A and B are shown apart, each in its own frame.
Chain A
Amino acid sequence: MSKREIIDSRELNIALNRLCCKLIENHGDFSNSILIGLQPRGGQVLGRLVKLLEAQYGVIDIRTGLLDITFFRDDFRRRPGHLQPNKTKIEHLVEDQNVVFIDDVLYTGRSVRAAMDAILSYGRPSKMELLTLIDRRFSRDLPIQPDYKGRQVDTIASQRVEVLWEEEDGRDAVLLTEPAS
Protein backbone atom coordinates (compact mmCIF):
# COMPACT_ATOMS: atom_id res chain seq x y z
CA MET A 1 0.00 0.00 0.00
CA SER A 2 1.44 3.40 -0.95
CA LYS A 3 0.33 6.92 -0.05
CA ARG A 4 0.81 9.91 -2.32
CA GLU A 5 0.10 13.55 -1.48
CA ILE A 6 -2.09 14.97 -4.25
CA ILE A 7 -2.95 18.33 -2.64
CA ASP A 8 -0.66 20.21 -0.27
CA SER A 9 -1.47 22.70 2.46
CA ARG A 10 -1.18 25.78 0.21
CA GLU A 11 -3.44 24.33 -2.50
CA LEU A 12 -5.95 23.23 0.12
CA ASN A 13 -6.05 26.74 1.57
CA ILE A 14 -6.65 28.26 -1.88
CA ALA A 15 -9.50 25.81 -2.49
CA LEU A 16 -11.10 26.61 0.89
CA ASN A 17 -10.90 30.36 0.20
CA ARG A 18 -12.47 29.89 -3.22
CA LEU A 19 -15.30 27.85 -1.67
CA CYS A 20 -15.92 30.65 0.85
CA CYS A 21 -16.17 33.22 -1.93
CA LYS A 22 -18.61 31.08 -3.90
CA LEU A 23 -20.76 30.55 -0.81
CA ILE A 24 -20.86 34.32 -0.18
CA GLU A 25 -21.85 34.93 -3.81
CA ASN A 26 -24.86 32.65 -3.43
CA HIS A 27 -25.79 33.11 0.23
CA GLY A 28 -24.93 36.74 0.97
CA ASP A 29 -25.02 37.27 4.72
CA PHE A 30 -26.23 33.68 5.31
CA SER A 31 -29.35 34.94 7.11
CA ASN A 32 -31.52 32.28 5.40
CA SER A 33 -28.84 29.61 5.18
CA ILE A 34 -27.66 26.78 7.40
CA LEU A 35 -24.39 24.94 6.79
CA ILE A 36 -24.66 21.27 7.74
CA GLY A 37 -21.53 19.14 8.12
CA LEU A 38 -22.03 15.46 7.31
CA GLN A 39 -20.62 13.17 9.99
CA PRO A 40 -18.04 11.92 10.55
CA ARG A 41 -15.65 13.94 8.31
CA GLY A 42 -17.73 16.88 7.09
CA GLY A 43 -17.49 18.62 10.46
CA GLN A 44 -13.82 19.49 9.93
CA VAL A 45 -14.46 21.09 6.53
CA LEU A 46 -17.39 22.99 8.04
CA GLY A 47 -15.28 24.20 10.97
CA ARG A 48 -12.53 25.44 8.68
CA LEU A 49 -14.95 27.20 6.30
CA VAL A 50 -16.73 28.98 9.15
CA LYS A 51 -13.40 30.11 10.60
CA LEU A 52 -12.36 31.53 7.22
CA LEU A 53 -15.73 33.15 6.54
CA GLU A 54 -15.58 34.92 9.89
CA ALA A 55 -11.91 35.89 9.93
CA GLN A 56 -11.23 36.64 6.27
CA TYR A 57 -14.61 37.73 4.95
CA GLY A 58 -16.32 39.25 7.99
CA VAL A 59 -19.40 37.02 7.84
CA ILE A 60 -20.77 36.58 11.37
CA ASP A 61 -23.45 34.50 13.09
CA ILE A 62 -23.38 31.67 10.57
CA ARG A 63 -25.82 28.97 11.59
CA THR A 64 -24.34 25.47 11.46
CA GLY A 65 -25.18 21.90 12.37
CA LEU A 66 -23.86 18.36 12.24
CA LEU A 67 -25.88 15.57 10.68
CA ASP A 68 -25.26 11.85 11.13
CA ILE A 69 -26.77 9.71 8.38
CA THR A 70 -26.17 6.24 9.82
CA PHE A 71 -29.84 5.40 10.40
CA PHE A 72 -30.69 6.47 6.84
CA ARG A 73 -27.98 4.51 5.03
CA ASP A 74 -28.97 2.04 2.33
CA ASP A 75 -26.40 -0.62 3.26
CA PHE A 76 -27.61 -1.55 6.77
CA ARG A 77 -27.27 -5.37 7.14
CA ARG A 78 -25.63 -5.47 3.70
CA ARG A 79 -22.01 -4.90 4.72
CA PRO A 80 -19.87 -6.73 7.26
CA GLY A 81 -19.22 -5.16 10.64
CA HIS A 82 -20.92 -2.51 12.69
CA LEU A 83 -22.27 0.86 11.58
CA GLN A 84 -21.49 3.20 14.45
CA PRO A 85 -23.74 6.27 14.63
CA ASN A 86 -22.20 9.66 15.38
CA LYS A 87 -23.58 12.69 17.11
CA THR A 88 -26.20 14.79 15.36
CA LYS A 89 -26.46 18.41 16.45
CA ILE A 90 -29.05 20.52 14.70
CA GLU A 91 -30.29 23.38 16.82
CA HIS A 92 -31.89 25.48 14.09
CA LEU A 93 -35.13 24.95 12.24
CA VAL A 94 -34.42 24.02 8.63
CA GLU A 95 -37.98 24.75 7.46
CA ASP A 96 -37.84 27.17 4.50
CA GLN A 97 -34.08 27.63 4.90
CA ASN A 98 -31.28 27.08 2.38
CA VAL A 99 -29.35 24.06 3.56
CA VAL A 100 -25.80 23.45 2.35
CA PHE A 101 -24.47 19.95 3.05
CA ILE A 102 -20.72 19.96 3.58
CA ASP A 103 -18.49 16.90 3.27
CA ASP A 104 -14.82 16.19 2.66
CA VAL A 105 -14.97 13.64 -0.17
CA LEU A 106 -17.82 12.96 -2.60
CA TYR A 107 -17.57 9.43 -3.97
CA THR A 108 -20.65 7.29 -4.75
CA GLY A 109 -23.18 9.91 -3.62
CA ARG A 110 -24.98 7.44 -1.34
CA SER A 111 -24.20 9.40 1.86
CA VAL A 112 -25.63 12.52 0.26
CA ARG A 113 -28.78 10.61 -0.72
CA ALA A 114 -29.11 9.53 2.94
CA ALA A 115 -28.46 13.10 4.12
CA MET A 116 -31.24 14.47 1.93
CA ASP A 117 -33.56 11.91 3.49
CA ALA A 118 -32.32 12.55 7.06
CA ILE A 119 -32.60 16.33 6.99
CA LEU A 120 -36.32 16.09 6.21
CA SER A 121 -36.83 14.88 9.81
CA TYR A 122 -36.08 18.47 10.83
CA GLY A 123 -38.41 20.17 8.37
CA ARG A 124 -38.62 21.03 4.66
CA PRO A 125 -35.72 23.20 3.50
CA SER A 126 -36.51 25.55 0.63
CA LYS A 127 -33.30 24.46 -1.06
CA MET A 128 -30.56 21.89 -0.57
CA GLU A 129 -27.05 22.28 -1.96
CA LEU A 130 -23.88 20.23 -1.74
CA LEU A 131 -20.36 21.41 -1.07
CA THR A 132 -17.51 18.94 -1.20
CA LEU A 133 -13.82 19.58 -0.75
CA ILE A 134 -12.82 16.71 -3.04
CA ASP A 135 -14.97 15.37 -5.87
CA ARG A 136 -13.97 11.87 -7.02
CA ARG A 137 -15.56 12.24 -10.41
CA PHE A 138 -16.72 9.35 -12.64
CA SER A 139 -17.44 7.25 -9.54
CA ARG A 140 -21.05 8.12 -8.76
CA ASP A 141 -23.69 5.42 -8.13
CA LEU A 142 -26.50 8.00 -8.04
CA PRO A 143 -27.41 11.09 -10.07
CA ILE A 144 -25.88 13.49 -7.48
CA GLN A 145 -23.38 16.25 -8.29
CA PRO A 146 -21.83 18.94 -6.07
CA ASP A 147 -22.83 22.60 -6.31
CA TYR A 148 -19.46 23.65 -4.91
CA LYS A 149 -16.26 21.62 -5.17
CA GLY A 150 -12.75 22.36 -3.95
CA ARG A 151 -10.87 20.02 -6.27
CA GLN A 152 -11.76 17.27 -8.69
CA VAL A 153 -9.71 14.08 -8.70
CA ASP A 154 -9.82 11.06 -10.97
CA THR A 155 -9.57 7.84 -9.05
CA ILE A 156 -10.42 4.16 -9.37
CA ALA A 157 -12.54 2.20 -6.90
CA SER A 158 -9.61 0.47 -5.18
CA GLN A 159 -7.98 3.79 -4.28
CA ARG A 160 -8.79 5.82 -1.16
CA VAL A 161 -8.82 9.59 -0.79
CA GLU A 162 -8.01 10.89 2.68
CA VAL A 163 -8.12 14.51 3.85
CA LEU A 164 -5.74 15.43 6.69
CA TRP A 165 -6.29 18.44 8.96
CA GLU A 166 -3.72 20.34 10.94
CA GLU A 167 -5.90 20.33 14.08
CA GLU A 168 -6.05 16.52 14.19
CA ASP A 169 -3.38 15.12 11.91
CA GLY A 170 -0.64 17.74 12.28
CA ARG A 171 -0.82 19.07 8.70
CA ASP A 172 -3.27 19.99 5.95
CA ALA A 173 -3.08 17.67 2.94
CA VAL A 174 -5.02 15.31 0.71
CA LEU A 175 -3.58 11.84 0.24
CA LEU A 176 -4.31 9.19 -2.36
CA THR A 177 -3.83 5.67 -1.05
CA GLU A 178 -3.02 2.98 -3.61
CA PRO A 179 -3.65 -0.66 -2.75
CA ALA A 180 -0.70 -3.03 -2.81
CA SER A 181 -0.44 -4.50 -6.31
Chain B
Amino acid sequence: MSELSVNHLLGIKHLNAEDIQLILDTAKEFKEVLNRPIKKVPTLRDITIANLFFENSTRTRLSFELAEKRLSADVVNFSAASSSVKKGETLVDTVNNILSMKVDMVVMRHPNPGAGEFLSQHVDASIVNAGDGAHEHPTQALLDAFSIREKLGTLEGAKVAIVGDIVHSRVALSNVLLLKKMGAEVMVCGPTTLVPKYMHTLGVRVEHNLQTAIEWCDVANMLRVQHERQDIKYFPSIAEYRAQYGLTMEHLDALEKPIVVMHPGPINRGVEITSEVADSEHAIILDQVENGVAVRMAVLYLLAEKRKLGKS
Protein backbone atom coordinates (compact mmCIF):
# COMPACT_ATOMS: atom_id res chain seq x y z
CA MET B 1 0.00 0.00 0.00
CA SER B 2 1.09 3.56 -0.56
CA GLU B 3 0.89 6.59 1.70
CA LEU B 4 -2.21 8.69 2.32
CA SER B 5 -3.05 10.95 -0.62
CA VAL B 6 -3.62 13.91 1.72
CA ASN B 7 -1.42 15.86 4.14
CA HIS B 8 -4.29 16.83 6.46
CA LEU B 9 -7.47 15.12 7.59
CA LEU B 10 -9.97 17.90 6.98
CA GLY B 11 -12.96 15.81 5.97
CA ILE B 12 -13.99 12.52 4.43
CA LYS B 13 -14.71 14.55 1.28
CA HIS B 14 -10.96 14.77 0.59
CA LEU B 15 -10.20 11.06 1.07
CA ASN B 16 -10.41 8.36 -1.56
CA ALA B 17 -11.42 4.72 -0.97
CA GLU B 18 -7.74 3.62 -0.78
CA ASP B 19 -7.04 6.21 1.93
CA ILE B 20 -10.02 4.99 3.96
CA GLN B 21 -8.97 1.37 3.51
CA LEU B 22 -5.42 2.24 4.59
CA ILE B 23 -6.64 4.03 7.73
CA LEU B 24 -8.98 1.17 8.71
CA ASP B 25 -6.32 -1.50 8.07
CA THR B 26 -3.73 0.42 10.06
CA ALA B 27 -6.23 0.95 12.87
CA LYS B 28 -6.66 -2.81 13.12
CA GLU B 29 -2.99 -3.18 14.02
CA PHE B 30 -3.23 -0.32 16.52
CA LYS B 31 -6.20 -2.01 18.17
CA GLU B 32 -3.90 -4.98 18.79
CA VAL B 33 -1.39 -2.57 20.37
CA LEU B 34 -4.14 -1.33 22.69
CA ASN B 35 -4.71 -4.85 23.95
CA ARG B 36 -1.07 -5.47 24.91
CA PRO B 37 -0.05 -5.40 28.58
CA ILE B 38 1.97 -2.27 27.70
CA LYS B 39 -0.17 -0.19 25.35
CA LYS B 40 2.42 2.24 24.11
CA VAL B 41 4.64 2.39 21.03
CA PRO B 42 7.50 4.86 20.45
CA THR B 43 6.54 5.76 16.85
CA LEU B 44 5.71 9.48 17.28
CA ARG B 45 8.32 10.26 19.93
CA ASP B 46 9.71 13.17 17.90
CA ILE B 47 6.29 14.69 17.13
CA THR B 48 4.49 17.37 19.13
CA ILE B 49 0.72 17.67 18.81
CA ALA B 50 -1.50 20.54 19.92
CA ASN B 51 -5.13 19.77 20.70
CA LEU B 52 -7.10 22.96 20.09
CA PHE B 53 -10.68 22.74 21.24
CA PHE B 54 -12.73 25.85 20.55
CA GLU B 55 -15.88 23.92 21.40
CA ASN B 56 -16.73 21.59 24.25
CA SER B 57 -15.79 17.94 23.93
CA THR B 58 -15.16 15.14 26.35
CA ARG B 59 -14.78 11.87 24.54
CA THR B 60 -13.20 13.15 21.33
CA ARG B 61 -10.61 15.20 23.23
CA LEU B 62 -9.81 12.32 25.59
CA SER B 63 -9.70 9.87 22.72
CA PHE B 64 -7.26 12.02 20.72
CA GLU B 65 -5.12 12.70 23.78
CA LEU B 66 -4.94 9.01 24.63
CA ALA B 67 -4.14 8.12 21.00
CA GLU B 68 -1.33 10.71 20.97
CA LYS B 69 0.10 9.48 24.26
CA ARG B 70 -0.09 5.83 23.20
CA LEU B 71 2.03 6.85 20.19
CA SER B 72 4.53 8.63 22.49
CA ALA B 73 3.89 12.08 21.00
CA ASP B 74 4.31 15.19 23.15
CA VAL B 75 0.91 16.77 23.72
CA VAL B 76 -0.24 20.28 24.53
CA ASN B 77 -3.87 21.04 25.23
CA PHE B 78 -5.73 24.23 24.63
CA SER B 79 -9.35 25.08 25.24
CA ALA B 80 -10.98 28.27 24.10
CA ALA B 81 -12.62 28.99 27.44
CA SER B 82 -9.31 29.85 29.11
CA SER B 83 -7.43 31.40 26.19
CA SER B 84 -6.60 34.68 24.47
CA VAL B 85 -9.34 33.94 21.93
CA LYS B 86 -11.61 35.56 24.47
CA LYS B 87 -9.39 38.66 24.25
CA GLY B 88 -9.96 38.97 20.49
CA GLU B 89 -7.01 37.07 18.99
CA THR B 90 -7.60 35.65 15.48
CA LEU B 91 -7.48 31.92 14.76
CA VAL B 92 -4.34 32.18 12.60
CA ASP B 93 -2.55 34.27 15.25
CA THR B 94 -3.51 31.84 18.00
CA VAL B 95 -2.30 28.86 16.02
CA ASN B 96 0.89 30.53 14.76
CA ASN B 97 1.78 31.38 18.34
CA ILE B 98 1.37 27.74 19.26
CA LEU B 99 3.30 26.57 16.20
CA SER B 100 6.25 28.83 17.02
CA MET B 101 6.69 26.52 19.99
CA LYS B 102 7.61 23.85 17.38
CA VAL B 103 4.33 21.96 17.10
CA ASP B 104 4.07 19.49 14.19
CA MET B 105 0.39 18.59 14.17
CA VAL B 106 -2.83 20.31 15.23
CA VAL B 107 -6.03 18.54 16.20
CA MET B 108 -8.80 21.11 16.11
CA ARG B 109 -12.46 21.30 16.98
CA HIS B 110 -14.10 24.55 15.99
CA PRO B 111 -17.71 25.79 15.80
CA ASN B 112 -17.22 27.21 12.29
CA PRO B 113 -17.50 24.90 9.26
CA GLY B 114 -14.28 24.96 7.23
CA ALA B 115 -12.08 26.21 10.10
CA GLY B 116 -9.66 23.31 9.61
CA GLU B 117 -9.44 23.90 5.88
CA PHE B 118 -8.77 27.60 6.42
CA LEU B 119 -6.06 26.80 8.94
CA SER B 120 -4.38 24.27 6.66
CA GLN B 121 -3.86 27.04 4.09
CA HIS B 122 -2.22 29.38 6.56
CA VAL B 123 0.00 27.31 8.84
CA ASP B 124 2.75 24.77 8.38
CA ALA B 125 1.38 21.89 10.43
CA SER B 126 -0.68 18.79 9.68
CA ILE B 127 -4.27 19.54 10.60
CA VAL B 128 -6.77 16.97 11.89
CA ASN B 129 -10.37 18.11 11.95
CA ALA B 130 -11.99 16.93 15.18
CA GLY B 131 -15.33 18.46 14.23
CA ASP B 132 -16.09 21.77 12.49
CA GLY B 133 -19.59 23.05 13.20
CA ALA B 134 -22.28 21.01 11.45
CA HIS B 135 -19.85 20.23 8.60
CA GLU B 136 -17.61 17.16 9.14
CA HIS B 137 -16.28 14.94 11.91
CA PRO B 138 -14.04 12.60 9.90
CA THR B 139 -12.52 10.54 12.73
CA GLN B 140 -16.00 9.73 14.07
CA ALA B 141 -17.04 8.45 10.62
CA LEU B 142 -13.82 6.41 10.40
CA LEU B 143 -14.34 4.82 13.79
CA ASP B 144 -17.99 4.10 12.94
CA ALA B 145 -16.87 2.44 9.69
CA PHE B 146 -14.20 0.48 11.56
CA SER B 147 -16.84 -0.73 14.05
CA ILE B 148 -19.26 -1.72 11.28
CA ARG B 149 -16.51 -3.55 9.39
CA GLU B 150 -15.50 -5.35 12.57
CA LYS B 151 -19.10 -6.45 13.15
CA LEU B 152 -20.24 -7.25 9.59
CA GLY B 153 -16.87 -8.12 8.03
CA THR B 154 -17.19 -5.59 5.21
CA LEU B 155 -18.64 -2.19 4.38
CA GLU B 156 -19.43 -3.20 0.80
CA GLY B 157 -23.19 -3.68 0.55
CA ALA B 158 -23.81 -2.99 4.25
CA LYS B 159 -27.15 -1.27 4.83
CA VAL B 160 -26.72 1.57 7.28
CA ALA B 161 -29.56 3.77 8.53
CA ILE B 162 -28.58 7.06 10.14
CA VAL B 163 -31.44 8.14 12.34
CA GLY B 164 -32.30 11.40 14.04
CA ASP B 165 -31.04 14.97 13.85
CA ILE B 166 -29.36 14.86 10.44
CA VAL B 167 -29.40 18.58 9.74
CA HIS B 168 -27.25 19.59 12.70
CA SER B 169 -24.98 16.58 12.54
CA ARG B 170 -21.39 16.62 11.30
CA VAL B 171 -21.32 12.91 12.15
CA ALA B 172 -24.14 12.26 9.67
CA LEU B 173 -22.45 14.04 6.76
CA SER B 174 -19.05 12.40 7.33
CA ASN B 175 -20.71 9.00 7.73
CA VAL B 176 -22.74 9.37 4.53
CA LEU B 177 -19.68 10.43 2.51
CA LEU B 178 -17.52 7.62 3.88
CA LEU B 179 -20.08 4.84 3.59
CA LYS B 180 -20.93 5.79 0.02
CA LYS B 181 -17.22 5.81 -0.94
CA MET B 182 -16.85 2.32 0.52
CA GLY B 183 -19.84 0.84 -1.29
CA ALA B 184 -22.37 0.72 1.55
CA GLU B 185 -26.05 1.55 1.13
CA VAL B 186 -27.14 4.48 3.26
CA MET B 187 -30.52 5.69 4.46
CA VAL B 188 -31.17 8.76 6.57
CA CYS B 189 -34.26 8.81 8.73
CA GLY B 190 -35.73 11.60 10.82
CA PRO B 191 -38.48 14.18 11.04
CA THR B 192 -38.76 16.27 7.86
CA THR B 193 -37.55 19.31 9.76
CA LEU B 194 -34.33 17.55 10.76
CA VAL B 195 -33.42 16.07 7.36
CA PRO B 196 -31.78 18.53 4.94
CA LYS B 197 -33.82 19.15 1.79
CA TYR B 198 -31.09 18.07 -0.67
CA MET B 199 -29.99 14.94 1.18
CA HIS B 200 -31.05 12.66 -1.69
CA THR B 201 -28.48 14.32 -3.97
CA LEU B 202 -25.78 12.50 -1.98
CA GLY B 203 -27.20 9.20 -3.23
CA VAL B 204 -28.86 8.18 0.01
CA ARG B 205 -32.40 7.01 0.69
CA VAL B 206 -34.52 9.38 2.73
CA GLU B 207 -37.09 7.92 5.10
CA HIS B 208 -39.29 9.44 7.74
CA ASN B 209 -40.61 6.28 9.35
CA LEU B 210 -38.35 4.62 11.94
CA GLN B 211 -40.01 1.20 11.61
CA THR B 212 -39.36 1.11 7.84
CA ALA B 213 -35.75 2.17 8.41
CA ILE B 214 -34.92 -0.50 10.98
CA GLU B 215 -36.61 -3.22 8.95
CA TRP B 216 -34.39 -2.24 5.99
CA CYS B 217 -31.02 -1.83 7.67
CA ASP B 218 -28.20 -4.00 9.08
CA VAL B 219 -26.92 -1.15 11.24
CA ALA B 220 -28.83 1.72 12.86
CA ASN B 221 -26.68 4.69 13.81
CA MET B 222 -28.83 6.65 16.25
CA LEU B 223 -27.75 10.28 16.38
CA ARG B 224 -28.14 12.55 19.36
CA VAL B 225 -30.79 15.25 19.26
CA GLN B 226 -28.57 18.33 19.39
CA HIS B 227 -30.62 20.61 21.60
CA GLU B 228 -27.73 23.09 21.85
CA ARG B 229 -27.69 23.71 18.09
CA GLN B 230 -31.45 24.02 17.71
CA ASP B 231 -32.29 27.71 17.71
CA ILE B 232 -35.93 27.06 16.83
CA LYS B 233 -38.38 24.23 17.60
CA TYR B 234 -37.85 21.46 15.04
CA PHE B 235 -40.37 19.10 16.64
CA PRO B 236 -43.25 19.68 19.07
CA SER B 237 -41.81 18.00 22.17
CA ILE B 238 -39.25 15.50 23.42
CA ALA B 239 -42.12 13.11 24.19
CA GLU B 240 -43.31 13.26 20.60
CA TYR B 241 -39.78 12.78 19.22
CA ARG B 242 -39.35 9.77 21.51
CA ALA B 243 -42.66 8.30 20.36
CA GLN B 244 -41.78 8.69 16.66
CA TYR B 245 -38.00 8.19 16.56
CA GLY B 246 -36.92 6.68 19.87
CA LEU B 247 -35.52 3.15 19.43
CA THR B 248 -36.86 0.66 22.00
CA MET B 249 -36.38 -3.02 22.80
CA GLU B 250 -39.89 -3.64 21.45
CA HIS B 251 -38.67 -2.43 18.05
CA LEU B 252 -35.64 -4.71 18.13
CA ASP B 253 -37.48 -7.77 19.46
CA ALA B 254 -40.05 -7.52 16.68
CA LEU B 255 -37.44 -7.55 13.90
CA GLU B 256 -36.85 -10.71 11.86
CA LYS B 257 -33.06 -10.31 11.93
CA PRO B 258 -30.91 -8.70 14.61
CA ILE B 259 -29.44 -5.30 13.79
CA VAL B 260 -26.40 -3.51 15.18
CA VAL B 261 -27.16 -0.33 17.13
CA MET B 262 -24.60 2.48 17.16
CA HIS B 263 -24.53 5.89 18.80
CA PRO B 264 -21.74 8.48 18.59
CA GLY B 265 -22.47 9.71 22.12
CA PRO B 266 -23.21 11.41 24.35
CA ILE B 267 -26.53 9.55 24.63
CA ASN B 268 -29.76 11.25 25.64
CA ARG B 269 -31.03 8.10 27.36
CA GLY B 270 -34.77 7.74 26.85
CA VAL B 271 -34.85 10.14 23.88
CA GLU B 272 -33.18 8.67 20.75
CA ILE B 273 -32.65 5.26 22.37
CA THR B 274 -33.88 3.75 25.61
CA SER B 275 -31.51 2.64 28.36
CA GLU B 276 -32.37 -1.01 27.65
CA VAL B 277 -31.26 -0.65 24.03
CA ALA B 278 -28.11 1.26 24.97
CA ASP B 279 -27.10 -1.49 27.39
CA SER B 280 -28.25 -4.42 25.22
CA GLU B 281 -26.15 -6.83 23.20
CA HIS B 282 -27.31 -5.07 20.02
CA ALA B 283 -25.45 -1.90 20.99
CA ILE B 284 -21.75 -1.50 20.16
CA ILE B 285 -21.51 1.98 21.65
CA LEU B 286 -18.58 1.19 23.95
CA ASP B 287 -16.79 -0.71 21.15
CA GLN B 288 -17.06 2.48 19.13
CA VAL B 289 -15.30 4.38 21.92
CA GLU B 290 -12.53 1.76 22.13
CA ASN B 291 -12.12 1.72 18.36
CA GLY B 292 -11.95 5.52 18.37
CA VAL B 293 -8.52 5.48 20.00
CA ALA B 294 -7.17 2.93 17.51
CA VAL B 295 -8.55 4.84 14.51
CA ARG B 296 -7.12 8.15 15.75
CA MET B 297 -3.75 6.48 16.30
CA ALA B 298 -3.88 5.31 12.68
CA VAL B 299 -4.76 8.79 11.40
CA LEU B 300 -1.98 10.45 13.40
CA TYR B 301 0.53 7.77 12.39
CA LEU B 302 -0.28 8.07 8.69
CA LEU B 303 -0.26 11.88 8.69
CA ALA B 304 2.99 12.01 10.68
CA GLU B 305 4.52 9.60 8.16
CA LYS B 306 3.98 12.23 5.47
CA ARG B 307 6.01 14.79 7.43
CA LYS B 308 9.35 13.38 6.33
CA LEU B 309 12.33 14.66 8.28
CA GLY B 310 14.04 17.49 6.50
CA LYS B 311 10.78 18.59 4.91
CA SER B 312 8.71 19.40 7.99
Contact = CB atoms under 8 A, between A and B. Distances in A.
A93 to B, nearest CB: 8
Contacts of B33: 71, 88, 121
Interface stretch (B36-44, B192-200, B207-215, B261-269): B36-44
Interface in B28-81: 29, 32-33, 36-43, 46
A1 B46 CA distance: 38
A55 B38 CA distance: 36
Given A82-B2, A88-B32, A77 B309 contact: yes
A118 to B, nearest CB: 8
B305 interface: yes
B38 A71 contact: no
Contacts of A118: 41
A140 to B, nearest CB: 22
Chain B: interface secondary structure? loop
Interface string A112-150: 000001101111000000000000000000000000000
B233 interface: no
B42 A122 contact: no
A120 B37 CA distance: 9
Contacts of B1: 82, 84
B304 interface: yes
Interface string A50-87: 00000000000000000010111000111011111111
Nearest to A95: B37
Given A88-B29, A88-B32, A77 B41 contact: no
Nearest to A70: B29
Chain A: interface secondary structure? loop
Contacts, number: 57
A123 B307 contact: no
Contacts of A78: 308-309
Interface residues of A, number: 22
Contact of A71 (B3, B43, B307, B309): B43
Contacts of A81: 2-3
Given A72-B42, A78-B309, A80-B308, A86 B29 contact: yes
B37 A122 contact: yes
Contacts of B244: none
Interface string B277-296: 00000000000000000000
B282 to A, nearest CB: 29
Contacts of B38: 120-122
A123 B37 contact: yes
List of 9 A-B pairs having minimum Cβ-Cβ separation, nearest first: A71-B41, A85-B29, A121-B38, A82-B3, A121-B36, A71-B43, A77-B309, A84-B1, A88-B32
Given A78-B309, A121-B37, A123-B37, 11 more contacts: A71-B41, A76-B305, A82-B3, A82-B305, A84-B26, A85-B26, A85-B29, A86-B29, A87-B32, A88-B29, A121-B40
Interface of B: 1-3, 22, 26, 29, 32-33, 36-43, 46, 301-302, 304-305, 307-309, 312
Interface of A: 68, 70-72, 76-78, 80-88, 117-118, 120-123
25 contacts: A71-B29, A71-B33, A71-B42, A71-B43, A72-B41, A76-B304, A77-B304, A77-B305, A77-B309, A77-B312, A78-B308, A78-B309, A80-B308, A81-B3, A82-B302, A82-B305, A85-B26, A87-B32, A88-B29, A88-B33, A118-B41, A121-B33, A121-B38, A121-B41, A122-B37
